[in-house]
Structure 1
Amino acid sequence: MQPTGNDVAGLIARASPAIRRRDAETLTALLQEITGREPVVWGSIIGFGSVHYRYPTGTEGDSGVLGFAPRKAATTIYLFDGVDAHADALAELGPHTTGVGCLYIKDLEQIDLDVLRGILERSMAWVEAGGTDQVQLTVTG
């Protein structure tokens, strides 16, 4: 995936329903603070920084160090280190669902933002440390 050059504010403005727009603005500010990087649109994802990933299978590509997408059903937060790495924190987060590497949140006002911050900070540290033998990560921006 590559940055599209699309406008972050425009992507947020088009998000629906209105709660996704509100949450996207909150997450954009939070992720900017955590990463120290500006938001960039990667397809339909708002990413912060950039990382090159490579799996033992040879699959490789580029993505944001941290990122999220304001989807209609829920906001999707992407975690390179997977949700299992955050099991204890997720138990304290509040209402959410998960996939292997995705955290789905329907309303940020119903979760503990300090817990979310900790999850995001730990995930970013894992990425910046280079991943594991299952995925090699090189931060490029």
Structure 2
Amino acid sequence: MYEQKTKATENSVIEFIEQVDHPKKREDAYRLLDIFTETSGFPAKMWGTSIIGFGSYHYRYASGHEGDAPYVGFSPRKAKISLYFAPGDEKREELLSSFGKYTAGKGCVYINKVADIDEEVLKQLIVQSIDFLQRTYPVQD
């Protein structure tokens, strides 16, 4: 049976950020922590060893694969800062067109620094991603 690798932990978000080597990247991580916390309305929580996530949802695919994931999150990695949003929504692509300097994968958007992006568009991406995931994976009682 599949064992999910990235799970919510009780590790300290602040301790994790304090371990970021580069001072500017650490400063950006604190700025992102403020933006994601304020905008999402969820407290920050560590997911695995390196992702700071906000809120969570349970997903179940037609294949039977299921698990839990944060609605949104970020990780101040050595090379770039990874931002995690819901993939596959056309509204995301529209917002990214005015986001600033970034590259993107399926579920990740990569930035070099917060100064390269439009913080208001970041807030819209956070809200859009949470709305999309709450509609796609409604809470089951």
2:100 is the counterpart of 1:116: no
Q: CA deviation at 1:70?
A: 1.0
Separation in 2, partners of 1:119, 1:28: 15
Q: CA deviation at 1:20?
A: 2.1
Query: In the alignment, what sits opposite 1:2?
Result: 7
Which ranges of structure 2 fall in alignment gaps of 5 or more residues? 1-5
Query: In the alignment, what sits opposite 1:134?
Result: none
Separation in 2, partners of 1:106, 1:39: 21
1:33-86 Cα shifts (integer Å, max 9, x gaps): 112111110111111111111122222111112111111111111112347542
Q: Conserved in 2, the CA contact under 8 Å of 1:128 and 1:138?
A: yes
Query: In the alignment, what sits opposite 1:28?
Result: 33
Q: Which shows bigger deviation, 52-61 or 13-22?
A: 13-22
Query: In the alignment, what sits opposite 1:67?
Result: 73
- In the superposition, the TM-score normalised over structure 2's length comes to 0.86
Seen in structure 2, the aligned counterparts of structure 1 residues 139 and 21 have a Cα distance that, compared at 3 Å, is farther
Separation in 2, partners of 1:113, 1:95: 12
Query: Structure 1: which amino acid aligns with 2:31?
Result: T
Q: Which has the higher strand share?
A: 1
Which ranges of structure 1 fall in alignment gaps of 5 or more residues? 132-136
Query: In the alignment, what sits opposite 2:3?
Result: none
Query: In the alignment, what sits opposite 2:18?
Result: 13
Query: In the alignment, what sits opposite 1:92?
Result: 98
- In the superposition, the TM-score normalised over structure 1's length comes to 0.86
SS of the residue corresponding to residue 93 of structure 1 reads: coil
Relative contact order, higher structure (CA 8 A, sep 6+): 1
Where has structure 1 moved over 4 Å in runs of 4 or more?
none
Q: Conserved in 2, the CA contact under 8 Å of 1:48 and 1:64?
A: yes
Aligned-residue Cα RMSD (Å) equals: 1.8
Seq. identity, %: 37
